[in-house]
Amino acid sequence: MLHDLRELYQAVILDHAAHPRNQGKLATATSDQLVHNPSCGDTIHLYLQVIQGRIAAIEFTGSGCTISQASASLLTTVIKGKTMQEALTLADHFSALAMGQAAPKAGLGDAVILTQVMQFPTRIKCATISWWALKQAILTEQEEEA
């Protein structure tokens, strides 16, 4: 009965939650986005440094459950170095997959494991919240540029 759970909470996920990558308050950030999940108190604050349309650096701070923290950590590893457009596409793909819809998995790396969260409808938001923050941050960045 814990089979589905094992698919979600794989070793790499537990590792990212316990030892988050790119944690910090990026001093050189060109935009940032704070999101909050009122239903559980999870918080993710994402910091992006965009240079010539490319996400040159990315960090996050926050607190919350395994899923939300691992998701943010994985996001940073996947997104670093991508163009804003690539990042937006990946964010859309991740969210779609996490909600059980069809979408390409290419480019998501280990983050794709977290799309198993679709088996746990009440936890989907934990996985998608940081990707949503990413999208908001990029849209803000683009608006400011325009």
Which pair of structure tokens corresponds to residue 91? 């964010």
Binders of other proteins among residues 10 to 39 (CB under 8 A) are 14, 36, 38-39
Neighbours of 79 (CB within 10 A): 25
Instruction: Provide the residue type at 131 as one letter.
Output: W
Binders of other proteins among residues 52 to 81 (CB under 8 A) are 63-67
- Total residues in contact with other proteins, by rule CB under 8 A: 22
Closest approach of other proteins to the CB of residue 5, in Å:
6
| Beta-sheet pairing, 31-37 with 42-51 | antiparallel
Residue from 29, 34, 40, 139 in contact with other proteins (CB under 8 A) = 40
Instruction: Provide the residue type at 101 as one letter.
Output: Q
Closest approach of other proteins to the CB of residue 121, in Å:
6
Decide if residue 7 touches other proteins (CB under 8 A).
no
Binders of other proteins among residues 77 to 116 (CB under 8 A) are none
8 vs 12: CA distance, rounded Å: 10
Decide if residue 120 touches other proteins (CB under 8 A).
yes
Q: Which is nearer to other proteins, 16 or 93 (CB)?
A: 16
Q: Which is nearer to other proteins, 65 or 112 (CB)?
A: 65
What are the Cα distances from residue 63, in Å, to 3, 8, 46, 105, 144?
Answer: 27, 19, 12, 27, 29
14 vs 25: CA distance, rounded Å: 22
Residues that bind other proteins (CB under 8 A): 1-2, 4-5, 9, 14, 36, 38-42, 63-67, 120-123, 126
